[in-house]
């Protein structure tokens, strides 16, 4: 697992199969982002079996098949769509994911997209219509919650009432750019969607989840290119504030300014304030103290606690998603929650104030 490079960060957990080997088959279309390995790891650990894989770059396909022995190279996208599969996963170029998803659902399969799932609101509406038409699942890999044990553990604590009713969720999500290793599409606004559409979708999903909200209003958002004039379409800083339909507030800050001295790709943190206590999640490390992640600091009316969540709750989303696909249920994540997080990120991006900076 490459912890210094967020694009290739692929968490690995303990196998917790929810089905017999061979009961759940999935294919892959699009290997443009390294998140596909985390998505595949999660499904495999939950009992899934990856099969046909297609990407326009045969070297990427070969590397993927080497890492996942059951995978086989497909001759075309149509070969994946025509195979007998339960689901197709994709980490294609961001702007291409929606089109792939539409074709996957038309082929009678469920779809598992990397985030961000869409770059325009029109793509989102097409996806909503296709889900309504086919009754298939359109899932999204919001990995900053789903593939972080501290976040899973914190969700359980919130549900148990450990900090009372949630008043605010604050997400800080710095990322390391590693510009020289990024593909050209990563710097094209029309293809990656903007920083709030992209990284921001993770944070908005967490705000909705931890507050128990089904909707929210974006009150303020802004983006900037502070210090990357050589990539004029890159947004290296973004922030937004939201108010949820549960009455809670949310704030997110996303950026590409992780310094080289940090041992992880980003010092991601979440602060959850409740009426009876608060929590801080130090997801990927505890700076200058511990390079391991999954740290929770909890304070409430009973005591103050440090909880090491690593190796405790695992990543239940993937097993739930497999069972949802097999049973056509929505236990892993409600479909509208999946889409609402994307919708709010797109709205925040669309309405963001562009900060002019002297570079």
Q: Which residues pair with 290 in a beta bridge?
A: 286
pLDDT in tens, 329-346: 999 999 999 999 999 999
Is residue 6 scored above 60 in pLDDT? no
Give the Cα separation of 294 and 313 in Å (integer). Answer: 11
Give the Cα separation of 110 and 89 in Å (integer). Answer: 9
pLDDT in tens, 54-86: 999 999 999 999 999 999 999 999 999 999 999
Please give the CATH topology (third level) of the domain spanning 145-313+346-355: Dihydrodipicolinate Reductase; domain 2 (3.30.360)
Buried residues in 16-50 as b, exposed as e (16+ CB within 10 A): eebbeeeebbbbbbbbbbbbbbbbbbbbbbbbbbb
Sheet containing 166-174: give its strands across: 304-308, 295-300, 277-282, 269-274, 166-174, 249-255, 237-244, 216-224, 353-355
pLDDT in tens, 147-204: 999 999 999 999 999 999 999 999 999 999 999 999 999 999 999 999 999 999 999 9
Give the Cα separation of 217 and 347 in Å (integer). Answer: 9
Instruction: Determine how β-strand 353-355 pairs with β-strand 304-308.
Output: unpaired
Among 4-13, 126-135, 188-197, 292-301, the minimum mean pLDDT is found in 4-13
Structure tokens at 111: 């779809």
Is residue 101 scored above 80 in pLDDT? yes
Structure tokens at 199: 């990284």
Q: Does domain 6-141+316-331 have CATH number 3.40.50.720?
A: yes
pLDDT in tens, 33-58: 999 999 999 999 999 999 999 999 99
Contact status, residue 103 vs residue 78, Cβ threshold 8 Å: no
Give the Cα separation of 90 and 88 in Å (integer). Answer: 7
Region 131-146 average pLDDT: 98
Domain boundaries, the chain: 6-141+316-331, 145-313+346-355
Residue 358 has a pLDDT of 59
Residue 5 has a pLDDT of 62
CA distances from 77 to 58, 87, 169 (A): 13, 14, 40
> Which residue would you say has higher pLDDT here, 9 or 162?
162
pTM: 0.96
Region 289-304 average pLDDT: 96
Quick one: which of 97, 83, 288, 305 has its CA closest to 192? 97
Residue 139 has a pLDDT of 98
Residue 356 has a pLDDT of 75
């Amino acid at each position: 697992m490459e912890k210094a490079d967020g694009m290739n960060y692929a968490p690995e957990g303990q196998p917790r199969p929810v089905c017999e080997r061979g009961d759940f088959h999935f294919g892959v279309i699009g290997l443009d982002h390294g998140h596909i390995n985390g998505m595949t790891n999660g499904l495999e650990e939950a009992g899934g079996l990856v099969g046909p894989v297609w990407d326009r770059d045969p070297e990427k396909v070969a590397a993927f098949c080497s890492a996942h022995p059951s995978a086989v190279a497909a001759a075309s996208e149509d070969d994946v769509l025509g195979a007998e599969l339960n689901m197709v996963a994709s980490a294609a170029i961001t702007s291409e994911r929606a089109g792939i998803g539409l074709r996957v659902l038309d082929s009678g399969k469920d779809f598992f997209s990397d985030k961000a799932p869409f770059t325009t609101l029109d793509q989102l509406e097409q996806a909503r219509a296709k889900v309504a038409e086919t009754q298939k699942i359109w899932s999204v890999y919001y990995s900053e919650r789903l593939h972080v044990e501290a976040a899973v553990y914190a969700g359980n604590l919130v549900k148990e009432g450990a900090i009372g009713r949630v008043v605010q969720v604050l997400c800080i999500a710095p990322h390391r750019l590693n510009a020289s290793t990024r593909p050209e599409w990563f710097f094209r606004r029309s293809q990656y969607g903007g920083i709030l559409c992209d990284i921001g979708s993770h944070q908005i999903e967490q705000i909705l989840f931890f507050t128990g909200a089904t909707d929210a209003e974006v009150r303020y958002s802004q983006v900037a290119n502070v210090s990357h004039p050589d990539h004029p379409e890159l947004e290296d800083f973004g922030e937004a504030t939201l108010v949820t339909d549960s009455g809670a507030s949310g704030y997110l800050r996303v950026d590409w300014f992780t310094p080289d001295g940090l041992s992880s790709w980003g010092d991601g943190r979440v602060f959850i304030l409740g009426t009876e206590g608060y929590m801080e999640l130090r997801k990927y490390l505890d700076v200058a103290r511990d390079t391991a992640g999954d740290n929770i600091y909890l304070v409430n009316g009973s005591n103050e606690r440090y909880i090491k969540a690593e190796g405790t709750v695992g990543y239940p989303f993937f097993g739930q998603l497999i069972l949802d696909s097999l049973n056509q249920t929505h236990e892993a994540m409600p479909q509208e929650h999946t889409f609402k997080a994307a919708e709010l990120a797109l709205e925040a991006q669309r309405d963001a104030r562009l900060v002019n900076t002297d570079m």
